[in-house]
Amino acid sequence: MARATFLSFSPPCLSEQEIVAVSEVLRKDWLSSGPKTKEFEQTFCQVVGAKSALALNSCTAGLHLGMILHQVGPGCEVITSPLTFCATANVVEHVGGSVVLADINPDTLLIDESQIEKNLSNKTKVIVPVHYAGTPCNMPAINAVAATRGIAVVEDAAHCMPGKTTVAGEPVGSSDNLTLFSFYATKNITTGEGGMMTGPQALVDEARSFALHGMTRNAWGRFAKGGSWKYDVLQPGYKYNLTDMAAALGVVQLSRVNELFAQRMKIVGIYEEAFARNEYFVPLKQSAGVESSRHLYVIQLNLEKLTIGRDEFITQLSERNIGTSVHYTPVHQLTYYAKKYGWTPESFPNAYKVGQRMLSLPLSSAMSTDDACDVVAAVKDVCAKFTR
């Protein structure tokens, strides 16, 4: 029997604490980037062990700044995964660089470091590993490849809060690589819209100027008591700053990070137990030696065992009031990129095959045990009804 109400794919998990925190900002005389944003940056540094942090209005903004800071432009190539949100590739196009894709490992869905090596050239400027679904890539191997050629690494950690690498359990965001996080509405920690850049102090400081029009002084510094209206512009920058209202959400969400992660893992545990021995799909394989944020619960359907395809499977779950999503349409199958680079679906066979049979089940810290059990029941019902 289908549940009575629709279960959204990934509802945010907010408490009265977040509401109070945002209300306090609204009662004060500063709404844009200011003291609360600074607090968010400092707290984030402490949580992930980052050397420096910059709060931004999106992870995409941070990826764009990463390309600028590493001087990507015409004639430069950036290697990344075909299984990522379009923003990872879009920012390369924005600065005039060329996107080079390295196929994925079909088990983990992470970029295959051996494919990175095959795609290196004297034009390679940056490698952008994507910590897909919250699982860190093999960063020791990728960093080693980059170091031997003097190539920069910019980590797309949009899914990866919290996550830890294989190197002595170090948190993602604590390395010398520029690392970008997302706080979009569906992320493990949310500010509605927002992002964070971590990395070396000098690079992050340079990004700070670019993120606010290239100015030498922000508005809070100019308008506060004792501040000066005078400023200069060092380069034509962008409007990428985060507001204090959003940061207030982020500060509280960070204080609850362990609580939120524990609840997320309860839901994952229910799924893992229920789906351990099914023949209709394969859950995403977890890489050894890393700690995933478990941002997504991705399954690959065994279409040979079903009479319906992935899209109809999603429709059937929706009819049972279960929301899902797909992460993602591979970059090389998107019209712009296919036309520009002449890619066919088979250009990256692993990403293509996975892209035809994958979907993401609901996963959120806001979900209850009953919600998870409803998902399990609906999935099993669809599999039983459409078994081949």
pLDDT at 20: 97
pLDDT at 219: 53
The C-alpha atoms of residue 8 and residue 5 are separated, in whole angstroms, by 9
Q: Which two tokens stand for residue 137?
A: 């890539």
pLDDT digits (tens, 9 = 90+) for 335-346: 999 999 999 999
Does residue 366 surpass a pLDDT of 90?
A: yes
Q: Which two tokens stand for residue 302?
A: 């065994």
pLDDT at 218: 60
Q: Which two tokens stand for residue 66?
A: 């990463």
DSSP lists the bridge partners of residue 100 as: 79
Q: Which two tokens stand for residue 270?
A: 């229910």
pLDDT at 267: 98
pLDDT at 227: 60
3-state secondary structure of 343: coil
The mean per-residue pLDDT over the stretch 16-30 comes to 94
Architecture, CATH, for domain 258-385? Alpha-Beta Complex (3.90)
The mean per-residue pLDDT over the stretch 155-178 comes to 89
pLDDT digits (tens, 9 = 90+) for 101-132: 999 999 999 999 999 999 999 999 999 999 99
Does residue 223 surpass a pLDDT of 60?
A: no
pLDDT digits (tens, 9 = 90+) for 199-219: 999 999 999 999 998 887 665
pLDDT at 61: 98
pLDDT at 225: 58
Please give the order of strands across the beta sheet that includes 297-301: 281-283, 297-301, 358-361
User: Where residue 166 falls among pLDDT bands split at 50, 70, 90?
Assistant: low
The mean per-residue pLDDT over the stretch 281-290 comes to 89
pLDDT at 29: 81
State the virtual CA torsion across 44, 46, 47, 53 in degrees, nearest 10. Answer: 30
Does residue 329 surpass a pLDDT of 60?
A: yes
The C-alpha atoms of residue 223 and residue 184 are separated, in whole angstroms, by 29
Does residue 220 surpass a pLDDT of 60?
A: no
Does residue 48 surpass a pLDDT of 70?
A: yes
pLDDT at 169: 82
Is 16-256 a domain of CATH 3.40.50.300?
no
Between 167 and 288, name the one with better pLDDT: 288
Boundaries of every domain in the chain:
16-256, 258-385
- 28 assigned to active site: no
Annotated catalytic residue, options 164, 187, 353, 385:
187
pLDDT at 2: 78
